[in-house]
Amino acid sequence: MAETARQIADDLRARISSGELTPGDRVPGEPALVREYGVAKETARRALTLLVDEGLAVRRRGSGTYVREFRPIPRVANKRLAEDGWGAGKSIWDADLGDRQYTVTDLQVYESEPPRQVAKLLELDESELVVVRSRRYVVEGEPVQRATSYLPARDVRESPITQENPGEGGIYGRLADLGLKPVRFTEELRARMPSQEESSLLALSAGTPVVEICRVAFTANGRPIEVNQMLLDAGVYVMRYHLES
């Protein structure tokens, strides 16, 4: 029985990868599968659940199961961080989206004690505080990313970095004004399943992992000046890096 559900799922998967079923298409429902394969309703349901668990399909309440639409947002790290991007007054984020519109929601700017991991990355002393900028990005009505930046409070406390809108070129532009221009970056990526809280924060459907990216920005002196912890909906992002030997 379980074997049969798997065979039906294999079949549906083949139809998706061959392009017979394309993103956004409705996958044959339980009654159709019951008719087509002569199986019990429970077996048909299990086959559909397998596709949903793999993230290949999504369920819409009261409507059925659909091939997941994956319209990736390319996240080109080098382009994002290139000085000719933010140096010329652009937001880093613009590079990701081309013509697509994004909205920043839930922006919060405040001073606080750093998480231990952040304190370590920023090489802060015990009692030092950070300025935290956290926000969520929404593209075409869907939340796609949460990003939380941490900067040493002693360096940026008096600057526009503590304002909701830090001005043209964003916080990297302001860091440059302060003589703390970021010139090198390390990004560390990890993928995992979200917690329930993260899942609701990014309105993730079942079977969608998240990508965590932790970026550290360094000045020319090698001083860590910002840590940005990002949580991305893995269903919409493709991360791209250019490297030289």
Which residues of this protein are in contact with a second copy, per CB under 8 A? Answer: 6, 9-10, 13, 50, 53-56, 72, 77-78, 81-83, 182-196, 207-211, 234-235, 237-245
C-beta of 137 vs 237, nearer to a second copy:
237
C-beta of 134 vs 205, nearer to a second copy:
205
Shortest distance in whole angstroms from residue 85 CB to a second copy:
9
233 and 194 Cβ atoms separated by less than 8 Å = no
Count the neighbouring beta carbons within 10 Å of the beta carbon of residue 165: 10
Shortest distance in whole angstroms from residue 188 CB to a second copy:
5
Strands 102-112 and 73-76: unpaired
Question: Could you tell me the CA-to-CA distances from 140 to 71, 72, 73, 101 in Å, in that order?
Answer: 11, 12, 12, 7
Helix (H/G/I), strand (E/B), else coil: 67: strand
Sign of CA dihedral 142, 114, 111, 227: negative
CA 2 distance to own-chain centroid: 34
From CA 191, how far away is CA 244, in angstroms rounded? 25
Shortest distance in whole angstroms from residue 13 CB to a second copy:
7
C-beta of 50 vs 151, nearer to a second copy:
50
Cα Dmax for the chain: 71
C-beta of 153 vs 175, nearer to a second copy:
175
Q: Report CA dihedral (29, 208, 56, 101) to the nearest 10 degrees.
A: 100
Shortest distance in whole angstroms from residue 76 CB to a second copy:
9
C-beta of 131 vs 175, nearer to a second copy:
175
C-beta of 154 vs 190, nearer to a second copy:
190
201 and 146 Cβ atoms separated by less than 8 Å = yes
Count the neighbouring beta carbons within 10 Å of the beta carbon of residue 39: 20
Shortest distance in whole angstroms from residue 17 CB to a second copy:
10
Shortest distance in whole angstroms from residue 113 CB to a second copy:
17
Shortest distance in whole angstroms from residue 231 CB to a second copy:
12
Residues forming beta bridges with residue 149, ordered by sequence position? 133, 228
C-beta of 88 vs 107, nearer to a second copy:
88
